[in-house]
Structure 1
Amino acid sequence: MSAAQALLFLGDLRAATPVPETELHFRSPFTLLVAVVLSAQATDASVNRATDPERGGLFAAADTPAAMVALGVEEVGRHIRTIGLWQGKARNVVALSQQLLDRHGGGVPNDREALEALPGVGRKTASVVLSVAFEQAEMAVDTHIFRLGNRTGLAPGKNVLEVERELLKRCPAEWLRDAHHWLILHGRYVCKARMPECWRCVAAAHCNYRDKVLVAPATRATPRG
């Protein structure tokens, strides 16, 4: 995909969703950080259910680093048992909370190196926090964006870092924060892993995927009687 074509592709996503937002529910940089850590290999919806403060979720019991440490690994685990890999995530959430208290006065740092030094925080998680909580121009690449970047030709790469670098080159700086959301939502709901729903893709005209599915599969009729 050429640079001009990439701009048209992103422009179509922008026109369709001019004010995109993360689907994770949070109310502070700390709760965003915890939610993103919990979302690894889990859906945003499952994380929202487990953390929902109005339903007695994790953030009702602890929404600050000090409260999370006081809650402890066992109780954090009790709240997030419905999320994949919950045992390790419970340990990481408590450990990163303790580290925030010990090294950052209980606040969430706004630089990548400090974020990636926290337990359970990798490059993608740090990018999301920097972009969403601190409004920095970052591009977080998850499995959806990695797939979309390669399938469409928008940002081909052998690994997430290569895809990230291509997207940083091809996306206007002023679009970067929103572009992460455009791409992840598009990959999650339209350019799906098993079968992309090209027939309802707003950017299909600028996509280089050779095997576009331009017609929706026929719905099976329900047998009568």
Structure 2
Amino acid sequence: MIRTFLRTLAWALAGLLLLAVTAILLFRFVNPPTSAFMLGHLLSGSGQELQQEWVSLDDISPWMPLAVVASEDQRFVHHHGVDFGAIRTALAEYRAGQGLRGASTITQQTAKNLFLWNGRSFVRKALEAGLALGIDAIWPKRRIIEVYLNIAEFGHGIYGVEAASRFYFGVPASRLSQIQSARLAAVLPNPKVLNAATPSAYVWERVEWIRGQMAQLSGLRYLQGLYN
């Protein structure tokens, strides 16, 4: 009985792994038609219309990827999907009595938004890390940032930078300025509470911090490799 159960479990896990690898391979070349978070919004019954429009990275202002990298994951171009150094630092700070802060990379956030659910359980974080490693192994950095910017949540029912840019600023993503890009990046940690159109004092503080980090990263030159 136990042997049969373990065999069935092994086959189920193998099937899930194959499905995940197939999906990652497919989305390397095909734009995802939706995401787990978008499906969750549609199934929530909130009545809030879902807004999302896919655009290529070439049709997004170069300030926007720089803003999210400066805000969310400054080692994006260097790590392999999971920043183990940042995780060790976060754990050390937690043991020292500081609050437990997130150490998710942009690749992990892409994996979570695309395939998983929100939450802080160990199982979800483990799945997120495994998927992120697979994504980084198969997708180039350019594709990761492109997918992330097209599926990230920027507000109630607002997914992707094109929809967010038009909703908050009335311009396409290709025309986002540096400060507009920083305002969008500033709301990503909690897009259902923070607002890019009418920023609170806290959001403005984040905007100024993000702009400072963008400058410290050498500005647009930092992500120049994504466009070569």
Q: Same fold by TM (over 0.5)?
A: no
Higher RCO (CA < 8 A, seq sep 6+): 2
- TM-score normalised according to structure 2 size: 0.29
Larger radius of gyration, structure 1 or 2?
1
- TM-score normalised according to structure 1 size: 0.30
